[in-house]
Each structure stands twice: as C-alpha cells, then as structure tokens.
Amino acid sequence: MNRQIRILQRPRPSKAVSREDFQFEKEITDFNIECPICLHVIMDDPLQSLCCGRHFCKACISGVEIDCYTRVRSCPICRGDCSDTFPDKNFERIVYSKAVYCMKKNQTQEAQCDWSGKLRDFRDHLSTTCPYDLVECKYKCSQKDILRVDLTDHLENRCMLRPYSCQHCGAKDAYKAITKSHYRVCKNYPVGCSHCSDENVRRSELNQHVKDECPMQRVECAFSWLGCKEWPLRKDAKEHYSDSHHEALSQAYRKLRDDTDELHLHTNKLRLDTNDLRFDTNELFRDVNQLKFDMNIRKIDISALYDSLNEKIYNLKVENAKLKDEMEERINRRCRDLERDLKVLSKDHDDLLRWYSKLVDDYDSFKLILEISILDIAIQL
C-alpha cells in the first residue's frame, strides 16, 4: 500500500538553512541534522520521535496527519506511529554549538563568504550579513537571484522598477516605464533630424527646426522678388546671395532711383494739391460759421414765436372757460323759466277741465228742464 505522508501545514522558517550553505569545522556523525520532511537543517525546537529516534523540526512533525487506515500519525521514515516525540536538549547543546564556515559564494563561484562561527548563529548571519545570500528586491521586480552584496547596485542602477526620472523632461516613474514607454512620447526626447546630422533636436521642436533652422533644408532665395527661382540649401544661402545677383541688383537699383525721382515729382504735386485743399477747407469753415450764426438767429425767432403762441393759447383757454360758465348759467335759467311756465300751464289745464265739466253739467240740467218744459207744453196742448 502506497501510504503518502500528508502534511497539514508546513510553516516555512523565516530563513531556511540548507546543508550546502555551511561546513562543519569537524564533521559530526552522531546526529542526522536534516529534517526528513522539509529537507532543511533543523534550526528550531528539534523533536526526536519515539518510533525510530529521528529528529524533526517541531513544526514539520506536528503537521503530519493521522493516517485514515492505521489511525496513527505515520512516521515518514519508519512508517510507525510518530505521535510521541520529545525535545532533544542534547541535540541542541551539541549540534548548535559546533563551529561552522559559511560556504556561500558569489555568482561566478570565485569568491566565498569568510564568516565562521557557531551553527546557532549561522541563520542570523545568513538573513542579515552574508554577502552572498539571496535577498528580495524592495521594488518587487522579477529578478530573483540578487545577492546581498549586489543589492545596493541593483536598487540604484539595475532594478527595472526603481524610481527614475526622465533626464529630458523630469517626468517620474519606474525605470522600465520611463525608458520603454515614456521615451516614445517624451516631448523633450532628443531625436535625429532626417535632413541634417543634428541628433539632438527635441521631439516637440523638430518641425520648427526643419522650418527655421535645419541647414539641409531648402529655402526660397531672398531675391525671388528679383526673379531668382532658385531654392538653395539654408547652409549655402549666403554663398548663393553673394554669387549671382549683382547684375539683377544693379538693375533693381537703377529702377529704384527712377522710381524715387518719380516719387519726388508726385510728392511736389501732392504738396500743391494739399495747399489748394487747405484753402478750400478754410472757405468751407467760414461758410459753416456763417450758417451757425444764421441758425442761432432763427432759433431766437422761433423761441419768441413759441412764447407768443403759448400766451394766445392760454388766453383762449381762459375765454373758453368763461363762455362755458355763461352758457351753463343761461341754460339753467331757461330751464327754471320753462319749469315755471309748465306749472302755470298745468294749472290752467286743470281749471279748464273743471269749467268744462261744469259746462257739461249745466248743459245736462238745461236739457232736462227743456225736455220737461216740452213735455208740459205737450200735455197742455
């Protein structure tokens, strides 16, 4: 039956010590100082098992699980029950006080650590002072084979993740980020001009260099206005100018002289015209002043007219009010008269009515008397 040793937990010692890391001054034969589980030198709490008498690290032997078939902790050496262990003070006393030499070497195996001491101090030496022990980079880069002696150089000059600033623009990042990605976009990074031999043009100024400075760029001849169609290289421009423009320049000079003379004539004519104009202007000023004077007089007339109109309007208003009052008074008076007449008339009317009814009554009584008289007469007859 293939019974596997199952380890529950195997806490690694802070710094494991291998048998190859040191050499005894006098080799020991009484003890097997390597733990059969972790295969490192037992440096903490050596325990001896009862089953076969082997030594183990305390952490390693405590991690051996109970076997599900035999229901015991199976010893990795003798397969017996290794539950019973005890601290071996003898081991500690003898083994840890042995003199040892550090066997750590540099990468090329040319140099060796010169430390010697007791085994109990060896692990401390390894984890703090041994120049040829492996250490971790504090920037967590991927390099895993850094010797303590090389650490400072690694951190300062070699680590791809060390803090770094761009020497062209001062941007800060890890060395790898600056040199791999930042340099590709850094605006101050020196780039070579493809026309001239200048290798130190800032990336952001390359266009301007080509446009305004590059000696290998062609430029329009400064005498193109004289008809020169050539585009000399910027570096040859001076030579080009001194070479080939004498005839054209003297022609241009002659033309310039003629033009200047003509200009003088024009200037004189202009001066005369200016004088004429000045005279006209003065006349115009005089007219304007006269006009201003006339206008002021008109203004005074208009204001007087305005005043008299105002006065007339006021008088008309007063008269109008007076007339209105008078008319009202007259109308009122007439109304009162009419009312009075109406009253008189209505009284006359009543009287007339009374008189009329009396007349009717008289007529009726007279008629009656007449009829009676007629009747009497008739009877008498």
From candidates 41, 113, 119, 237, binder to Zn ion by CB under 5 A = 113
Residues in 205-224 that interact with Zn ion by CB under 5 A: 214, 221, 223
Q: Which one of 64, 119, 141, 237 is in contact with Zn ion (CB under 5 A)?
A: 141
Q: How far is the CB of 36 from Zn ion (least distance, A)?
A: 8
Query: Closest approach of Cβ 91 to Zn ion, in Å?
Result: 13
| Binding status of residue 115 toward Zn ion by CB under 5 A | yes
Q: How far apart are CA 153 and CA 135, in angstroms?
A: 13
- CA dist 14 and 127 (Å) reads 9
Structure tokens at 69: 């078939």
Shortest approach of Zn ion to residue 281 CB, angstroms? 50
Pick the piece of the chain touching Zn ion (CB under 5 A) from 128-136, 325-333, 353-361, 364-372. 128-136
CB of 96 to Zn ion, least distance (A): 16
Nearer to Zn ion, 105 or 340 (CB): 105
- Determine the straight-line distance between the first and last CA of the chain, rounded to whole angstroms: 196
Would you give the binding string for Zn ion spanning residues 270-299, x where CB under 5 A is met?
Answer: ------------------------------
Using CB under 5 A, count the residues that bind Zn ion.
Answer: 34
- Report the nearest approach of Zn ion to the CB of residue 277 (Å): 45
Residue from 33, 64, 159, 237 in contact with Zn ion (CB under 5 A): 159
Segment contacting Zn ion (CB under 5 A): 88-96, 229-237, 271-279, 359-367?
229-237
User: Is 96 or 223 the residue whose CB approaches Zn ion more closely?
Assistant: 223
Per CB under 5 A, does 43 bind Zn ion?
no
Of 67, 81, 230, 236, the one binding Zn ion (CB under 5 A) is: 230
**Touching Zn ion, residues 62-101 (CB under 5 A):** 75, 77-78, 80
Question: Does residue 237 belong to the site contacting Zn ion (CB under 5 A)?
Answer: no
Given the rule CB under 5 A, which residues bind Zn ion? Answer: 35, 37-38, 51-52, 57, 60, 75, 77-78, 80, 102, 104, 113, 115, 130, 137, 139, 141, 159, 166, 168-169, 171, 186, 193, 195-196, 198, 214, 221, 223, 228, 230
